[in-house]
Amino acid sequence: MKIGFIGLGIMGKPMSKNLLKAGYELIVCDIVREAVDELVAAGAKAAASPKEIAQQVEIIITMLPNSPEVKEVVLGKNGVLEGARPGLILADMSSIAPQASREIAAKLAEKGVEMLDAPVSGGQPKAIDGTLSVMVGGKKEVFERCLPVFKAMAASVVHVGEIGAGNVAKLANQIVVALNIAAVSEALVLAAKAGVEPELVFKAIRGGLAGSTVMEAKVPLMLDRKFNPGFRINLHIKDLDNALNAGHQFGSPLPLTALVREILEALKVEGLGDCDHGALVRYFEKQAKTELKRFPTG
């Protein structure tokens, strides 16, 4: 099966490499030439445009920053739609606004092209080891055709409803992750300020009801002061903006989401937008005038 992959960034590059490892023939496209060259060296073929990819493949995967980029790549000049033929499937694995997914799908349907919105969760580490979680919206029969492809990149793949439902699920995921990081940060900074070793507090509570995947992933990095991006603050801001817009659209208040979104904005203003979202702890450190870190041993 020939697959097109558009968007070879921090997530798309390892995801596409896992498709190559699974034996799929891959044609790739990205605005960063070095990323394309790296994939070509790994066994992929390069295309000059999304249109050129659409003319050659059965499935196209897009992994792009936000709704405008997906619309441009799919509907713009030399985009997917210009090269598409009936029967092509577009699986957009970007995290975008649910309404944008529905608008793009409607345009594609006019040319006989099917679409799934299939955003992922897990960040760069799980993209690398192929254990992402994928939440998919679209027709069930189209989902079934793409399931083996998704499984080459993910440990969990769940069909959650019609087009747009995947991105609603992703927004819910991003709300939970952001609020969880904030809660963990606030709690462990309290421990540090009180003179109690944060690592021991982490060990004490991780096995109880407070334990979470977010805690397991982020606390060790916080304690080691490692804030290089697995998932950037700027991208989480984008996701929470989409969540807040969806909340307004559907009449579902999101007050806690709004609060954490503003905390992330404060960090962005301080120049930390390209740090991992675990750097959210630095907001609470600044307020408490203390630093979360491992205590000296011995």
CATH code of the domain containing 137: 3.40.50.720
Confidence at 297, pLDDT banded by 50, 70, 90? confident
Give tens-digit pLDDT for 88-146. Answer: 999 999 999 999 999 999 999 999 999 999 999 988 889 999 999 999 999 999 999 99
Give tens-digit pLDDT for 147-158. Answer: 999 999 999 999
Clarify whether 51 is annotated catalytic: no
Domain range for 182: 168-288
Give tens-digit pLDDT for 160-183. Answer: 999 999 999 999 999 999 999 999
Tell me, yes or no, whether 114 and 251 share the same domain.
no
Give tens-digit pLDDT for 229-272. Answer: 888 999 999 999 999 999 999 999 999 999 999 999 999 999 99
Tell me, yes or no, whether 14 and 157 share the same domain.
yes
Tell me, yes or no, whether 260 and 231 share the same domain.
yes
Tell me, yes or no, whether 235 and 87 share the same domain.
no
Tell me, yes or no, whether 261 lies in a domain: yes
Over 80: is that where the pLDDT of 50 sits? yes
Tell me, yes or no, whether 72 lies in a domain: yes
Q: Domain with 220 in it: what CATH number?
A: 1.10.1040.10
Over 80: is that where the pLDDT of 298 sits? no
Tell me, yes or no, whether 153 and 226 share the same domain.
no
Tell me, yes or no, whether 85 lies in a domain: yes
Tell me, yes or no, whether 295 lies in a domain: no
* Cβ–Cβ under 8 Å, residues 258 and 244: yes
Look at residues 132, 163, 194 and tell me which one is the last residue of a structural domain. Answer: 163
Tell me, yes or no, whether 33 and 151 share the same domain.
yes
Tell me, yes or no, whether 22 and 81 share the same domain.
yes
Tell me, yes or no, whether 53 lies in a domain: yes
Task: Indicate which residue of 17, 126, 170, 218 is catalytic.
Answer: 170
**pTM score, two decimals?**
0.92
